[in-house]
Amino acid sequence: MAAQQTPDYLAIGHVTVDRNPNGSVSLGGTALYAALTAARFGLRAAILTRGNFTQHGPEITEALARFAAEIDIIVQAAAAPTVFTNVIVAGRRQQTVHSWAGPIDLTGLPPAWRSAGVIHLAPVAQEIDARQAGRLSPDYFGATPQGWMRQWQTSRQHRVSLQPLRLPDEILGRLDAIVVNSEEHTLARDALNTVGARGIAVVTRGAEGAQVVDRGRVIDVPAYPVPTVEDIGAGDVFAATLFLLRAEHEPTTVAARMAAAAAALRVQGHGPDAVPTREAVQEFLARAERRPARPRRR
């Protein structure tokens, strides 16, 4: 897809290099997981990111080239990529930032990309100035705001901690959907209430499913019980599936059920390669429909 073509789905955020506990490195970041989800659901998908991926060996550059065969990617120049280490401590993910690629300049978007069908603001490390997002004009506007809530300090060995979410009223007033996880939701309560009153606000809860608020109505979405290999990116896959299906005018209950199924497939594999196709999600749901795993309104 050339830069002059309008994507169906545009994700904006850092594609990251993730250091794994076994010493290997892999590509990550919400933007990558979300855009791959859209591409594997049959959409024209694109990413605007920033970084320098040449310094982490062929494993990273080859993976980026492979994913670029599915997604159109614009990489703004930087001295280094954003690099994370993720470890599980007492059942919770602990993150460290080793390098930061810097802010993404939204004025660098090709004009055709500014009106993508879905635009997903997908920051992971304070890389998006939300005020610049006012220039975007998608048909459907979604956000996973975790990166605006993260902070890290040299004095704390660059370990990530969370801070309250503060977004301009202009952006909150335009978002069609917002998705956070259970660790973030108390710090994003105002944004969730604002968006959920007229759009969709979601709190994902891992194996406990998700709570979806659709214009004030609460829908409990159970998780599908599956063996978990790793769960990084599962919430991103959930969010992207929800956004793209709502943009296709699927009912929220249907979109949420498919999003939960997509996340269930993601956790059964490793990394971005485990992002499922639309067909795989539909087949999974066809099998799961024989079990009681339907969303419940209350």
Beta strands in 22-69 (DSSP E): 25-28, 45-51
pLDDT tens digits along 79-108: 999 999 988 776 677 889 999 999 999 999
C-alpha dist (Å) from residue 89 to 42, 75, 96, 114: 37, 33, 13, 40
Please list the ranges in the chain whose pLDDT falls under 50: 293-294, 296, 298
Conformational region of residue 5, where left means phi above 0, alpha means psi within -120 to 50, and beta covers everything else: beta
CATH class of the 9-291 domain in this structure: alpha beta
Instruction: Name 214's Cβ contacts closer than 8 Å, sequence gap at least 6.
Output: 196, 199, 200, 252
**Residue 293, pLDDT score:** 47
Give backbone dihedrals phi and psi of 20, rounded to 5 degrees, phi first: -95, 155
Q: What are the tens digits of pLDDT across the range 197-246? A: 999 999 999 999 999 999 999 999 999 999 999 999 999 999 999 999 99
Quick check: helix, strand or coil at residue 166? Answer: coil
- pLDDT at site 57: 86
Bridge-based pairing of strands 217-221 and 160-162 is unpaired
Distance CA 23, CA 19 (A): 7
Task: Taking the CA atoms of 257, 263, 269 and 271 in sequence, report the sign of the dihedral they define.
Answer: positive
In degrees, to the nearest 5, what angle opens at C-alpha 22 toward C-alphas 179 and 58?
85
pTM recorded for the entire structure? 0.94
Closest CA to 13 of 137, 181, 130, 117: 130
pLDDT for the residue 292: 56
Q: Residue 237: CB partners within 8 Å, gap ≥ 6?
A: 33, 34, 37, 259, 262, 263, 266, 275, 276
- Asked if 35 and 239 count as a contact pair (C-beta separation under 8 A), the reply is no
Question: How far apart are the C-alpha atoms of 254 and 141, rounded to whole Å?
Answer: 19
The number of helix segments (H) and strand segments (E) in the chain equals: 7, 16
Q: In what order do the strands lie in the sheet with 200-204?
A: 72-77, 45-51, 9-12, 118-121, 140-143, 177-181, 200-204, 210-214, 217-221, 296-297
The rounded percent of the chain whose pLDDT value lies above 70 is 95
